């Protein structure tokens, strides 16, 4: 149970660091942890005319590989379906959709390293 609590806290920290990073680059976060029966979108942001759906992967080390390695083709397909579901559920005026990924490497004893890939799918 302690591991699950640690992972949840790590995930929340990573999502906050990712949101701060995106906002520092001029994006505006408009939704967080949106859920439906198909899954969850970590962050939804606006970047000019684009609505950006962001998958955040947070790790404390590279022991299990780079965080981006967890974004597999099936995961990307699910993100696409979730983006459509979000648009339908919120009835937001969406001109363009983009799916991004943010990797957060957050060791306990050092500053976090954040990588942002735009348009992964």
Q: What residue segments make up the domains of the chain, in order of their start?
A: 2-117
Q: What is the pTM of this model?
A: 0.91
Q: What does the alpha-carbon distance between residue 93 and residue 102 come to, in Å, rounded to a whole number?
A: 24
DSSP calls for 91-118 = T---SEEEEEEEEEE--TTS--EEEEE-
pLDDT in tens, 89-103: 997 778 899 999 999
Please report which confidence band the pLDDT of residue 6 belongs to, taking 50, 70 and 90 as the band edges: low
- Asked if residue 18 lies in contact with residue 102, where contact means CB atoms within 8 angstroms, the answer is yes
User: What average pLDDT does this structure show over 25-31?
Assistant: 97
pLDDT at 2 over 70: no
Residue 99 neighbours by CB distance under 10 Å: 20
Q: Domain 2-117: give its CATH code.
A: 3.40.1350.10
């Amino acid at each position: 149970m302690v591991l699950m609590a640690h992972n949840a806290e790590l995930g929340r920290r990573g999502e906050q660091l990712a949101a701060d990073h995106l906002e520092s680059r001029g994006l505006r976060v408009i939704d967080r942890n949106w859920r439906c029966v198909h899954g969850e979108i970590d962050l939804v942001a606006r970047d000019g005319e684009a609505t950006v759906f962001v998958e955040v992967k947070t790790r404390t080390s590279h022991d299990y590989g780079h965080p981006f390695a967890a974004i597999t083709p099936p995961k990307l397909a699910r993100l696409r379906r979730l983006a459509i579901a979000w648009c339908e559920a919120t009835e937001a005026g969406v001109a363009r959709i983009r799916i991004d990924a943010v990797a957060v490497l957050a060791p306990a004893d050092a500053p976090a390293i954040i990588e942002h890939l735009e348009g992964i799918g």
